[in-house]
Amino acid sequence: MKYVIIGAVAGGASAAARLRRNDELAEIVIFEKGEYISYANCGLPYYIGNVITNRNALFVQTAASFNKRFNIDVRTQTEVISINRTAKTISARNQTTGEVYEETYDKLVLSPGAEPIRPPLPGIGGKGIFTLRNVADTDYIKAYVQQEQVKKAVVIGAGFIGLEMAENLHSLGMDVTIVEMAGQVLTPVDFPIAAILQQHIRSKGVKLQLNTAVSGFEQTENGQKVMLNNGQELDADVVILSIGVKPDTKLAAEAGLKIGEARGIYVNEYMQTSDPDIYAVGDAIEFTNPITNKSMVTYLAGPANKQGRICADNLVFGHHKKYNGSINTAIVKVFDMTVATAGTASKHLQLSGIKHQVSTITSGSHAGYYPGAKQMTIQIAFTPGDGRLLSAQIVGYDGVDKRLDILSSVIKRNGTIDELTEFEHAYAPPFSSAKDPVNMAAFAAENILLKRSVVFYWNKFDKITPDDVLIDVRTKNEYNAGKILDAINIPVDELRSRLDEIPKDKKIYIYCLGGLRGYLAQRILMQNGYADTINLSGGYQLWNTCNTEMNLI
């Protein structure tokens, strides 16, 4: 059996190594148009920022080590330029010699990846304007920013790579501005989570220009003038274009393979394309999102690696292992904060017409009495009836990854809030609290599901009419330091003795700092004959952050 693989990073390399383990006697040839295989794609921004100092550390495998360990014929700097499905051959061009030759295959695996989007803006080809996708890009950028005169950076696009690049360029001492077309950073997450991160980014001295598009570039003596659609101009010594990527489907499309609705290479659940002898994995494929049931592409290393493994198993042992799709689990460190997400954000559920409820809580990374505990904000979305978890988003300083991973695993297997309330975590004071933040998120959601609590959200204050009552149940000191609208102050611990101040026939809006005391107040009122009470999910703190950020746009 002869396997040919196109693309030797993440999915392709995984597939190749697993093919060899599965089939010691097969012939395996892997083509890579770049100079390097199996490199640390996700580490590139950190090498530019000198967090990773040893360039060699970026290479998980070299062509030589891969060949030695796995007996695989590795052909780097060799671009596959066409597939002849009838003859079952590919044509490859050796980029060093220019030689073009054919290679036969029994089974072909495509792992072409994605390519950075470069919109056709005036001046986009100018000096000092870079995209970051591979080692060559990294070497260019690193060499360029080491020049002394490179002091001002503009990062276009506030996605994962954009934010990582902003942090790393900032850590090199640069003045950094991020320009983002959307009204928030990290469009996969909902606004409140992004807003908390935005405040942190601003606090580091990085400028954020949201709701702003770039209209073009003009070369200056030292660098670029970045023209914005609001008429402003930004000076930049270096520009990082991190607008996004798109699946590299050229080869597949030219070979007549089916391209799907989301513009990725179509594969079935066994990673097989529309040609039974051709499989595909990684950033270039599309699959069905298990939550929205719509076709999607995703650009994540974890899924690519797992697809590679599954593909190799199905190729050698027959179709037995299904790929169940990705829920887009992702994480990014941005200065001292971490943001992580899994599943489908509330705003996207809305667009897909999927009914859901949302709950936001704040909880400590570990027991408050043990040093170093930090607050994190968790927002989850779930179905109203059975409480199936649809998404989770967390922003905080410590322990964010741990909680998101648990929530991700629940989403992945259609788990529910009920199950999360039972989650038995490992507790000792340095690691968690007796009730983990994940439990707390589930408890809050359970109360909502069972209608023991009714909540409203930071952006719904316009629904409050002059006839309604708005109560701040925090302490007097907290209230005096800042309230919402014309809220009256009745601290929760005084509520039972001051019920006569609250009319029973009106709608009662309640808020506290994070939501917990408001919930307690709501329980007291609900059971004292107040028929219409509603508590602010996430509390004053989240409202304040969201409002501050809204006003800055």
Site for a second copy in 377-406 (CB under 8 A): 401-402, 404-406
Nearer to a second copy, 526 or 550 (CB): 526
Total of chain residues touching a second copy, rule CB under 8 A: 86
3-state secondary structure 104-170: ECCEEEECCCEEECCCCCCCCCCCCEEECCCHHHHHHHHHHHCCCCCCEEEEECCCHHHHHHHHHHH
d(C-alpha 342, C-alpha 389), whole Å = 10
124-132, 266-274, 338-346, 460-468 -> range binding a second copy (CB under 8 A): 338-346
Nearer to a second copy, 273 or 365 (CB): 365
Q: Which of 327, 349, 380, 441: binder of a second copy (CB under 8 A)?
A: 327
d(C-alpha 7, C-alpha 63), whole Å = 13
Write out the two tokens for 503.
């009319």
Residue type for 241, please? L
Nearer to a second copy, 251 or 406 (CB): 406
d(C-alpha 474, C-alpha 540), whole Å = 10
Residue spans of alpha helices (H) in 319-399: 346-351
Dihedral angle at the C-alpha atoms of 232, 234, 240, 246, nearest 10 degrees?
A: 10
User: CB of 91: closest distance to a second copy in angstroms?
Assistant: 30
d(C-alpha 353, C-alpha 408), whole Å = 22
Q: Give yes or no for residue 423 binding a second copy (CB under 8 A).
A: yes
Q: Which of 167, 237, 436, 472: binder of a second copy (CB under 8 A)?
A: 436
Backbone angles phi, psi at 229, to 5 degrees: -75, -10
Number of C-alpha atoms within 13 angstroms, CB side, residue 19?
30
d(C-alpha 38, C-alpha 33), whole Å = 12
Positions 489 through 508 that interact with a second copy (CB under 8 A): 492-493, 496
Q: Give yes or no for residue 172 binding a second copy (CB under 8 A).
A: no
Nearer to a second copy, 118 or 498 (CB): 498
User: CB of 253: closest distance to a second copy in angstroms?
Assistant: 27
How many other C-beta atoms lie within 10 A of the C-beta of residue 522? 26
Residue type for 26, please? A
Q: Which of 111, 187, 212, 329: binder of a second copy (CB under 8 A)?
A: 329
User: CB of 337: closest distance to a second copy in angstroms?
Assistant: 12
How many other C-beta atoms lie within 10 A of the C-beta of residue 290? 17
Write out the two tokens for 137.
């890009």
Positions 345 through 374 that interact with a second copy (CB under 8 A): 367-371
Q: Give yes or no for residue 332 binding a second copy (CB under 8 A).
A: yes
84-92, 99-107, 112-120, 522-530 -> range binding a second copy (CB under 8 A): 522-530
Q: Which of 2, 43, 91, 104: binder of a second copy (CB under 8 A)?
A: 43
Q: Which of 91, 172, 429, 457: binder of a second copy (CB under 8 A)?
A: 429
Q: What is the maximum alpha-carbon separation in the chain?
A: 89
Positions 59 through 88 that interact with a second copy (CB under 8 A): 60, 68-69, 71
Q: Give yes or no for residue 410 binding a second copy (CB under 8 A).
A: yes
Per the listing, tokens 């003795």 go with 497
Q: Give yes or no for residue 186 binding a second copy (CB under 8 A).
A: no
Number of C-alpha atoms within 13 angstroms, CB side, residue 286?
22
Nearer to a second copy, 234 or 473 (CB): 473
The site map against a second copy for 294-313 (x = CB under 8 A) is ------xxxxxxx--x----
Nearer to a second copy, 55 or 463 (CB): 55
Q: What is the DSSP track for 310-327?
A: HHHHHHHH-S--------
User: CB of 163: closest distance to a second copy in angstroms?
Assistant: 11
User: CB of 518: closest distance to a second copy in angstroms?
Assistant: 12
Residue type for 551, please? N
Q: Give yes or no for residue 160 binding a second copy (CB under 8 A).
A: yes
Q: Which of 51, 136, 351, 488: binder of a second copy (CB under 8 A)?
A: 51
Nearer to a second copy, 451 or 466 (CB): 451
Nearer to a second copy, 24 or 148 (CB): 24
Active site residues: 42
> If you compute the radius of gyration of the chain from its CA atoms, what whole number of angstroms results?
26
User: CB of 296: closest distance to a second copy in angstroms?
Assistant: 14
Residue type for 59, please? F
Backbone angles phi, psi at 227, to 5 degrees: -90, 130
Q: Give yes or no for residue 426 binding a second copy (CB under 8 A).
A: yes
Is residue 327 within 8 Å of 32, Cβ to Cβ? no
Q: Which of 151, 333, 347, 374: binder of a second copy (CB under 8 A)?
A: 333
Write out the two tokens for 455.
């909540």
